[in-house]
Amino acid sequence: MYVIIIGAGRTGSTVIDLATQDDHEVVVIERDTELAEEVSATYDCLVINADAASKDILLEAGIEEADALISTTESDSVNLMITMFGKQYGVETLVSSINDPAHMELFEDLGVNIVESPHQLNGQYLYRAVEHPAIQDFMPIAGDAEIFEATVEDGAAIAGLTLIEADKQDLLPEETIVVAIVRNDELLIPQGQTEIKQGDVVTIFAGNGARREITDIFRST
């Protein structure tokens, strides 16, 4: 995956660390020279010491080829401008931190996956949003176990199947349990014959973590 990360502060550096550990092709844009030099010396990635709120700089970073764009600056206006450029150039996954909840709707209208609460505002959460775009929220429990939410997209592998049918097709790995469904603002406690429908917001317990083999079944094919 080709990932552009904007900002190398506390949050950004965590994202950089996780993305380079997973051997993704990473480009970092950081306007602070000292931080840029530190990242360049520490991680195996391309670092551009410049202001990312510039179409020319983003083009230099390869935004036209990027699979994901993560903006972690402390300015919502800068984050918004950067993600607008990402949308313009067709970046599939756009993720941004947000500092003022009043700006949330602006980002949502662009289709940006946003991180806004103090509990969520960290590099691990931002990176998870890129690795697993279907996930809306997640909570680590113990060991590798996690609980996460995902919206069932039109054309998803699990859409139209009951839980029994999904299990027969090996869509749900062992230690994976669908614990709740929200459909039209109504909470459902699923049983074996419960059908998963497009648009459902599903809460899943994954004993071995929210791996792609699980999250991808909720995305359009």
pLDDT digits (tens, 9 = 90+) for 25-82: 999 999 999 999 999 999 999 999 999 989 999 999 999 999 999 999 888 889 999 9
What pLDDT, on a 0 to 100 scale, did the predictor assign at position 98?
82
pLDDT digits (tens, 9 = 90+) for 126-144: 666 666 655 556 666 666 7
What pLDDT shows up at residue 119?
A: 43
pLDDT score of 70: 92
> Rounded to an integer, what distance in angstroms lies between the CA atom of residue 1 and that of residue 10?
22
Going from the C-alpha of 113 to that of each of 23, 45, 91, 151, the distances in angstroms are 23, 24, 13, 13
Place 118 in a pLDDT band, splitting at 50, 70 and 90: very low
Domains of the chain: 2-131 (3.40.50.720), 138-218 (3.30.70.1450)
**Nearest CA-CA partner of 85 in 58, 116, 120, 106:** 58
- Cβ–Cβ < 8 Å for 5, 12: yes
Q: Which DSSP helix (H) or strand (E) runs through 146? A: strand 146-151
